[in-house]
Amino acid sequence: MVRGDRADEGGGGTLLAMPFMIVTVLSVLVGCAVFLGTVRGQGGPPATGFGEAEPEEALEASEPGAPAPGYAYLQVSTQGPELRERLQGVVGVIVLLGVGAMALAFALYELGHLINKTIEAFLD
């Protein structure tokens, strides 16, 4: 018996667990790198607008009626959607519901198939 041969010692389970351990360690390392790169890094002001207050001089618009720098002006429509846009929305909802129903049916079928195979394996 060779000392490095684990199959004879019955320790083969550690070799099977090694890929899972590698994936776990790599996942933790990537998570730490992302944390250090985003949360702890010195970035610009947050895009939500809840950062530190800016001086009043910087908030004034460059031209009258324009939004302050760093803010977007959203134009509001005063007209309702046209018939074509409404039909596109209805068709989109029908297609999404159909695809969602098919995906749910397929997932339930596969789950039932897995349960059936598991029961058959115990009965054999």
Residue 100: predicted pLDDT: 95
What pTM was estimated for this model as a whole?
Answer: 0.38
Residue 62 token pair: 């460059």
Three-class HEC string of the chain: CCCCCHHHHCCHHHHHHHHHHHHHHHHHHHHHHHHHHHCCCCCCCCCCCCCCCCCHHHHCCCCCCCCCCCCCCCCCCCCCCCHHHHHHHHHHHHHHHHHHHHHHHHHHHHHHHHHHHHHHHHHC
Digits of tens for pLDDT over the chain (124 positions)? 455 544 455 555 666 677 788 888 999 999 888 888 777 656 665 555 555 555 555 555 466 666 666 677 777 778 888 999 999 999 999 999 999 999 999 999 999 999 999 999 988 8
